[in-house]
């Protein structure tokens, strides 16, 4: 007997503030106006996607001490946009990236519980951490969190928020007009948390929401991040788009679950993926190359090289050879406010490798950045892309994908119209939403009130 | 009612939405829908009704603890509405489903981040295409502070709100709120309107010379900026605050576009308006528009005496007579119109009405009071502007950081 076909999960990542997003295209619309978000969300819902995903960064990026101006700059507030999107969609999950360093559990828990109520059970939280003093300059707490404490704060933040979500069992809010009893229990929402990062107590003021708790996402790739996800997340948002990488990551993360008393179906693996579609595979390859050239202008190529060199390279010609000076191996100071700079742990080695590649292939700086940068994850005709996605999921390289289009807001439209029907024909993607909540779409159990009873009993 | 000539300056009207209404027993009324309080449909219905009545805006109450009948402590009551949703998220949820009415959620400055709130209200302005406002308040409640664990609020003598400790706390919290509003406003201006250039030739998405660090440093927080969100459609969404005495009057006079005040008579209205105008002048804003709205709790019925007996019946259900910081009006829409126009002559430019029972008194406002005021030429008969600032007669302000 063959293994039953896995159902694919699909999500839509609103195009972000990095060079993946091609703002120079005549089709590119606003990244701020609500009409763009509404268009994007409606397309995702029309295609029966599981959820929409919003990223977040709490300080504008800088390079060489100046605000970075080559990519899309600026975005709206996550909670506010998601709540407004709940008004123009019925079933689509609404996932927001919210930082655990520059927020407080009581406030974030009430925002997510409120979003879950106002969307009828469609809220999800991508928990991210940061420690940098650079971002901290916008907040009360400043930037004094040591890097090694970011996961410990994140873990405690999530644990505390969970205590707040679970502080109502769902049975207290009776509103019995005849009897005059509004709450069944005067201690509704009572909580007390004492820990290294938070020492708070009182009563949570949002009664239990339709999903009990929002669905929890974790985006970290590191060992600590994987462990954090295995311990308590419902889905992990990775970056592995190939079969081998995906399978390795999938096996590693799923194997960690048992140690936390969880089963493999309790954590979904949903890598981010970019795509370019064409009528034929050859046309898609050509288009993909064009998109890459739009994503990496000469100016962008120089800036990208600066991440590695950690120096001002503005005097170099992007169409000329790579710099012969070596990267500055000191503390990374050239680019601030982006995660990407941490990708290059050994810049001298990277520079050496890139110089060799450029010489061997006669690449200019811009050619090199285009050729070595992230290629689109899926390139091909709709049939090819549908087949690729399905085979990756069936081969346990992923449980589905979070698609990142490069055009706002229409970049998902063609995928919705051409790839999704092919997946539906194969019987691996829903043709209608079966449930109403995001947990229903993702096949995750609704947390019962046991946690509440356990806590009450302890 | 006798017809009178058209009013020189029409009234502004807002309604303050809180749970099922401001009377603690409001939720017991058949029209109250208490089980719907946590649903989007409930709030959409209320705001839609307010928009049907052409009101300038709604405010949404909020707080960072369960509601309490006690000034400073939790009351552990189970016979009144307890539990609520975040007001900014409610406003955002309703925004795409309404078209003209302003949306003014409450935010507690004491425990939140001005950076987050600035971008949240800017975004509310985007999702509502120019209808966002903000009502800022402080929290003196120890138990709310304990939900955050970041600052200690001294225990106050509930019986005597005017001790030196209470005065010091009030002054400190309002000074912080003024800084908070300053930061929120500066962040809204931290992008010039034409900062996004999308210049394909040079590859630049923005002209970074049109983005500005605000470099704010205060006693309670420092904020660098710029905002992550571009300047909102109104430039500066409308900032409002409720004030009962001198210290909060200074916040209203120095920082807001609308102050809500609570006179109990015409003379007192005159006195309060004069105090606020003085605070405004002292803050160097004498030539800026600043609305002073009177807050009133209203129980309205067409039948004379019916509203008063309804209030009495609700007092019986609550187990105690309802009192408020604001004047509690019981009567007919016609009599309320008389009172509002009299107070308008005392210097108030509008009113924020707190419905005693939303299920009853909201419609009494939109379908009773509003037509009455319209007959007297004292209220709009159609929405005349697309933004909240427009409805309030406030021009779109220039950006403080713009050089041209």
Task: Write out pLDDT tens, residues B302-349.
Answer: 999 999 999 999 999 999 999 999 999 999 999 999 999 999 999 999
Residue range B36-40: average pLDDT? 98
CB contact under 8 A, A58 and B228: yes
Confidence of residue B140 (pLDDT cuts 50, 70, 90): very high
B306: CB partners within 8 A, 6+ apart? none
Q: State the burial class of residue B29 (Cβ atoms within 10 Å of its Cβ: 0-12, 13-18, 19+).
A: buried
Question: How far B335 CA sits from the closest chain A CA (Å)?
Answer: 31
**DSSP, residue by residue, A144-198:** ---GGGHHHHHHHHHHHHHHHHTT--S-SEEEETTTTEEES-TTTTEEEEE-SS-
A186 contacts chain B (CB < 8 A): yes
Q: Coil, strand or helix: which one is B156?
A: coil
Nearest to A76 by CA among B172, B126, B183: B126
Q: Find the closest chain A residue to B26 by CA distance.
A: A177
Q: Which of residues 130-159 of B touch A (CB under 8 A)?
A: 143-144, 146-150
Question: How far B84 CA sits from the closest chain A CA (Å)?
Answer: 5
B33 contacts chain A (CB < 8 A): no
Q: What is the pLDDT of residue A334?
A: 82
**Residues spanned by CATH 3.20.20.30 within chain A?**
9-279+379-457
Q: What is the pLDDT of residue B4?
A: 46
Residues of A in contact with B196 (CB under 8 A): 73-74
Q: pTM of the predicted model, to two decimals?
A: 0.96
Q: What is the pLDDT of residue A224?
A: 85
Helices A78-88/A105-118 angle, 10° precision? 10
B76 contacts chain A (CB < 8 A): yes
Q: What is the pLDDT of residue A456?
A: 46
If you average pLDDT over every residue of chain B, what do you get? Answer: 95
Residues of B in contact with A111 (CB under 8 A): 86, 89
Nearest to B121 by CA among B96, B100, B97, B92: B92
Q: What is the pLDDT of residue B185?
A: 98
Question: How far A236 CA sits from the closest chain B CA (Å)?
Answer: 26
Q: What is the pLDDT of residue A151?
A: 80
> What's the CATH number for B12-161+237-391?
3.20.20.30
Q: What is the pLDDT of residue A125?
A: 98
Residue ranges of chain A with per-residue pLDDT less than 70: 1-2, 143-144, 339-343, 449-458
The β-bridge relationship of strands B133-137 and B57-60 is unpaired
Say yes or no to pLDDT of B357 above 70. Answer: yes
B313 contacts chain A (CB < 8 A): no
Q: What is the pLDDT of residue B5?
A: 47
How many CB pairs (< 8 A) connect A and B?
228
Q: Find the closest chain A residue to B44 by CA distance.
A: A87
Q: What is the pLDDT of residue A343?
A: 58
Question: Out of A74, A81, A186, whose CB is closest to B230?
Answer: A74
Q: What is the pLDDT of residue A152?
A: 87
Q: Any idea which architecture A9-279+379-457 has in CATH?
A: Alpha-Beta Barrel (3.20)
Q: What is the pLDDT of residue B7?
A: 53
Reported as a single tens digit per residue, the pLDDT across B169-190 is 999 999 999 999 999 999 999 9
> For A407, which DSSP code?
S
Q: Find the closest chain B residue to A295 by CA distance.
A: B203
- What's the CA gap between B194 and A51, in Å, rounded? 33
Say yes or no to pLDDT of B81 above 90. Answer: yes
Residue B204 token pair: 């630049």
A133 contacts chain B (CB < 8 A): no
Q: Find the closest chain A residue to B221 by CA distance.
A: A140
Residue B228 token pair: 């992550």
């Amino acid at each position: 007997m063959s293994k039953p076909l896995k159902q694919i999960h699909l999500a839509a990542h609103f195009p972000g503030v990095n060079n993946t997003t091609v703002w120079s295209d005549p089709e590119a619309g606003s990244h701020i106006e609500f009409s763009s978000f509404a268009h994007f969300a409606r397309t995702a819902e029309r295609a029966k996607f599981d959820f929409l995903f919003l990223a977040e960064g709490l300080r504008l990026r800088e390079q060489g001490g100046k605000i970075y101006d080559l990519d899309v700059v600026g975005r709206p507030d996550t909670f506010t946009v998601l709540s407004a999107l709940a008004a123009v969609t019925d079933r689509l999950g609404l996932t927001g990236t919210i930082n655990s360093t520059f927020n407080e559990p009581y406030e974030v828990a009430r925002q997510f519980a409120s979003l879950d109520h106002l969307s009828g059970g469609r809220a999800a939280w991508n928990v991210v951490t940061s420690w940098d003093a650079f971002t901290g300059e916008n907040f009360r707490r400043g930037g004094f969190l040591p890097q090694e404490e970011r996961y410990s704060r994140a873990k405690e933040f999530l644990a505390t928020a969970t205590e707040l979500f679970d502080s109502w069992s769902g049975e207290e809010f009776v509103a019995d007009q005849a009897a005059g009893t509004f709450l069944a229990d005067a201690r509704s929402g009572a909580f007390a948390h004492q820990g290294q990062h938070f020492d708070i107590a009182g009563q949570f003021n949002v009664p239990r929401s339709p999903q009990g708790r929002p669905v929890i996402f974790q985006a970290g790739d590191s060992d600590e991040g994987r462990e954090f996800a295995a311990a308590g997340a419902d889905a992990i948002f990775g970056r592995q788009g190939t079969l081998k990488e995906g399978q390795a990551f999938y096996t590693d993360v799923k194997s960690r679950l048992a140690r936390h008393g969880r089963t493999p179906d309790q954590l979904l693996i949903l890598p981010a993926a970019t795509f370019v579609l064409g009528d034929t595979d050859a046309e898609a390859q050509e288009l993909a190359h064009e998109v890459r050239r739009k994503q990496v202008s000469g100016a962008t190529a120089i800036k990208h090289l600066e991440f590695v060199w950690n120096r001002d390279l503005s005097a170099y010609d992007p169409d000329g050879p790579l710099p012969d000076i070596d990267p500055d191996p000191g503390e990374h100071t050239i680019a601030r406010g982006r995660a990407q700079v941490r990708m290059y742990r050994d810049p001298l080695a990277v520079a050496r490798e890139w110089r060799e590649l450029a010489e061997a292939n006669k690449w200019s700086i811009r050619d090199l950045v285009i050729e070595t940068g992230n290629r689109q994850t899926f390139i091909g005709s709709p049939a090819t892309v549908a087949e690729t996605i399905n085979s990756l999921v069936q081969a346990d390289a992923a449980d589905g994908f979070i698609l990142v289009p490069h055009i706002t807001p229409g970049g998902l439209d063609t995928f919705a119209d051409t790839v999704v029907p092919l997946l539906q024909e194969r019987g691996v993607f829903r043709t209608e939403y079966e449930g109403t909540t995001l947990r229903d779409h993702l096949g995750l159990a609704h947390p019962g009130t046991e946690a509440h009873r356990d806590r009450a009993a302890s | 009612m006798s017809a009178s000539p058209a009013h020189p300056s029409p009234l502004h009207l807002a309604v303050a939405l809180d749970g099922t209404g401001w009377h603690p027993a409001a939720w017991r009324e058949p029209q109250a829908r208490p089980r719907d309080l946590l649903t989007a449909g409930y709030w959409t219905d209320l705001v839609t009704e307010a928009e049907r009545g052409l009101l300038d805006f709604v405010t949404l109450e909020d707080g960072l603890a369960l509601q309490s009948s006690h000034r400073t402590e939790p009351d552990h009551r189970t016979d009144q509405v307890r539990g609520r949703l975040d007001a900014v998220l409610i406003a955002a949820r309703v925004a795409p489903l309404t078209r003209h009415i302003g949306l003014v959620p409450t935010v507690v400055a004491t425990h939140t981040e001005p950076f987050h709130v600035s971008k949240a209200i800017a975004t509310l302005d985007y999702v509502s295409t120019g209808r966002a406002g903000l009502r800022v308040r402080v929290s003196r409640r120890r138990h709310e502070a304990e939900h955050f664990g970041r600052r200690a609020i001294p225990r106050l003598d509930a019986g005597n709100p005017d001790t030196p400790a209470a005065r010091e706390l009030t002054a400190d919290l309002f000074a912080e709120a003024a800084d908070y509003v300053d930061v929120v406003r500066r962040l809204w201006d931290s992008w010039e309107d034409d900062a996004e250039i999308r210049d394909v030739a040079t590859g630049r998405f923005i002209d970074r010379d049109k983005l500005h660090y605000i470099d704010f440093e205060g006693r309670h927080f420092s904020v660098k900026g710029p905002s992550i969100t571009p300047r909102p459609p109104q430039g500066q969404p409308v900032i409002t605050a409720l004030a009962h005495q001198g210290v909060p009057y200074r916040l209203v006079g120095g920082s807001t576009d609308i102050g809500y005040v609570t006179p109990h008579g015409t003379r007192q209205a005159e006195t309060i308006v004069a105090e606020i105008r003085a605070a405004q002048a002292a803050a160097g804003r004498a030539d800026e528009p600043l609305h002073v709205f009177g807050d009133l709790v209203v129980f309205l019925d067409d039948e004379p005496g019916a509203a008063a007996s309804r209030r009495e019946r609700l007092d019986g259900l609550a187990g105690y007579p309802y009192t408020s910081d604001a004047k509690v009006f019981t009567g007919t829409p016609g009599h309320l119109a008389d009172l509002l126009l009299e107070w308008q002559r005392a210097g108030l430019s509008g009113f924020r009405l707190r419905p005693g029972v939303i299920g009853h008194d909201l419609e009494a406002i939109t379908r009773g009071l509003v037509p009455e005021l319209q007959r007297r030429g004292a209220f709009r008969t159609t929405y005349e502007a697309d933004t909240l600032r427009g409805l309030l007669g406030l021009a779109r302000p220039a950006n403080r950081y713009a050089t041209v």
